[in-house]
Amino acid sequence: MDRHGLLLIDKPQDMTSHDVVASLRRSLRQKRIGHTGTLDPIATGLMVVVLGEGTKLSDYLVAEDKAYSVRIRLGLNTDTLDRAGQVLERRPVNVDLPQVQDAVMALEGEFEWPVPKFSAVKVDGEALHKRARREAEDFATPLKEMKFWDVRLEEFSGDALTVSLSCSKGSYIRTWVQQLGERLGTGAIVEELRRTRVGGWTVADSIPLSALEAAEAEENGEAFISLGAALPGYRSVVADAREARLVENGQVPRDMMGRLIPEQKHAFETGRPVYVKVIGAHGELLAILAAEPGQGLKIRRVFRLS
């Protein structure tokens, strides 16, 4: 029988995110399973895996902010913007600590940058990485808004540095590193990448994939997150037995509408939806509601755990 919830996995190097999911599907004997944000094969760190009814949370979890630690090599440019690619150019490196510190701090904020050619972004129905592998000639990629904050230079020596930073959904660390290399005039690639945080969870909460056994999935402390504890930043409203039955049938109870008037006002004032978790008497997640601007409350997801 499928489990329902989230599993925090410390992804090893040289595996795709798809490989991790396939391995867990076998070890957990789990039919419905997915992940909430791809990590490149060279990357390690936190993957939030969704199990059973937890797969209905994928769209919400993908939108969470993320944090990384990245080891950068100066003096190189590759086609994939990381060490796994073909070297396109080598440049001399002659920069000092103040130059590097200034360049790193200048790349904190919001930018409109091209997405990497080797990415899953689709143009005309085709993923860019497929086109990049098929075509020898250079081509332009779409621009995308990317946001970076809490940027810190952790270490610098010669032609290598380590930076920690947080970013919004759809922001590419490889693009950030490329921009750093251009600002320094040296070129730069990602040598090592580790995801350290997704939303409110950190890699310290996770369990290494190699250590996970099927019988242990719900016994590894904070590595397993119940559906009721998922999306901790969302407002929660507790439903009584009558309200729970209505919600399970796709109806928003009138009393619940009254308790969520502040959320409806906030949605109207900001022009953005406000999401609310409906929790049952035993802490189980029953549904996700959205207060839509000018449209009241709508049920977005209903969770059936039995």
pLDDT score, position 55: 94
Provide the angle, in degrees to the nearest 10, between the axes of the packed helices 97-106 and 173-184. Answer: 130
Count how many domains the chain has.
Answer: 3
| Mean pLDDT computed over 253-271 | 91
Question: Does residue 81 share a domain with residue 57?
Answer: no
Q: What is the DSSP secondary-structure string of 98-140? A: HHHHHHHHHT-EEEEEEPPSSSS-EETTEEHHHHHHH--S---
Confidence band of 127 (pLDDT split at 50, 70, 90): low
| Nearest by Cα to 189 from 112, 76, 95, 108 | 76
Question: Does residue 273 share a domain with residue 187?
Answer: no
Question: Does residue 138 share a domain with residue 18?
Answer: no
From the candidates 10, 40, 82, 205, give the one annotated as an active-site residue.
Answer: 40
Question: Does residue 175 share a domain with residue 77?
Answer: yes
- CATH code of the domain covering residue 16: 3.30.2350.10
- CATH code of the domain covering residue 295: 2.30.130
Question: Does residue 190 share a domain with residue 218?
Answer: no
124 in active site: no
End-to-end CA distance of the chain: 10
Question: Does residue 58 share a domain with residue 73?
Answer: no
pLDDT digits (tens, 9 = 90+) for 128-177: 666 667 666 666 777 889 999 999 999 999 999 999 999 999 899 999 99
pLDDT score, position 217: 45
Strand spans (E) along 168-295: 188-198, 201-202, 207-208, 224-225, 235-238, 274-279, 285-292
Backbone angles phi, psi at 108, to 5 degrees: -100, 125
pTM score above 0.85: yes
pLDDT digits (tens, 9 = 90+) for 201-242: 999 999 998 887 544 444 555 688 999 999 988 999 999 999
| Nearest by Cα to 187 from 273, 72, 85 | 72
Question: Does residue 278 share a domain with residue 244?
Answer: yes
Q: What is the residue range of 153's domain? A: 66-198
Question: Does residue 191 share a domain with residue 98?
Answer: yes
